[in-house]
C-alpha cells in the first residue's frame, strides 16, 4: 500500500467513526492522517468535526484554523466560519467566509463557491 492509499484508508476509517458518533476514536485516526500528510484538508476537517461532535468547539476552531493555514483549506474556512458564528464571533465568521470565497475564485473551485454561497445565504 502506498502513502496515498494509506491516507485514503485513514480518511475512510475516520469518516466511518464520525458517522458512528465515535468522536474520540475518529479524532485519533484524523490526527494520524494529519501527521502523515498535514497538507490534506480532510484530516483537519475530520478533526474539527470530531471535536465539534464531542462538544469541544474551541478545539474544533483550532483544527479548522490549522487546516486553513496548512492546507489552504476553503472547506476548513467554511467550517471555521460556522464555529466562530456559534461562538458569537460574527466578525471572525465573516472574515473566514470571505477567505473561502476568495480561495474558491482564485483556484476556480465551483463546488467550494457553491458551498460559500449556501453558507452566506444561511448565516
- Tens-digit pLDDT profile for residues 85-101: 999 999 999 999 999 99
For residue 100, the domain's CATH number is 1.25.40.10
Does the pTM surpass 0.85? The reply is: yes
Residue 113 Cα to chain centre, angstroms? 16
Report in angstroms the alpha-carbon separations of 47 from 51, 64, 65, 88, 97.
Answer: 6, 8, 11, 21, 19
Instruction: Give pLDDT, residue 1.
Output: 74
How high is the mean pLDDT in each 10-residue block of the chain (123 residues)? 91 98 98 96 98 98 97 96 97 97 94 95 86
pLDDT tens string 4-17? 999 999 999 999 99
Domain extent, residue 93, equals: 3-121
Q: Is 67:38 a contact under the CB 8 Å cutoff?
A: no
The pLDDT of residue 38 is 95
The total of other beta-carbon atoms located within 10 Å of residue 86's CB is: 13
**How many structural domains are present in the chain?**
1
Amino acid at each position: 500500500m502506498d502513502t496515498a492509499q494509506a491516507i485514503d484508508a485513514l480518511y475512510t476509517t475516520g469518516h466511518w467513526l464520525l458517522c458512528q458518533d465515535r468522536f474520540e476514536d475518529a479524532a485519533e485516526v484524523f490526527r494520524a492522517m494529519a501527521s502523515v500528510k498535514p497538507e490534506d484538508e480532510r484530516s483537519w476537517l475530520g478533526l474539527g468535526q470530531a471535536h465539534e461532535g464531542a462538544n469541544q468547539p474551541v478545539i474544533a476552531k483550532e483544527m479548522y484554523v490549522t487546516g486553513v493555514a496548512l492546507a489552504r483549506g476553503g472547506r476548513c474556512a467554511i467550517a471555521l466560519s460556522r464555529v466562530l458564528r456559534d461562538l458569537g464571533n460574527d466578525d471572525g465568521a465573516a472574515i473566514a467566509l470571505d477567505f473561502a470565497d476568495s480561495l474558491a475564485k482564485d483556484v476556480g473551485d465551483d463546488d467550494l463557491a457553491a458551498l460559500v454561497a449556501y453558507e452566506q445565504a444561511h448565516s
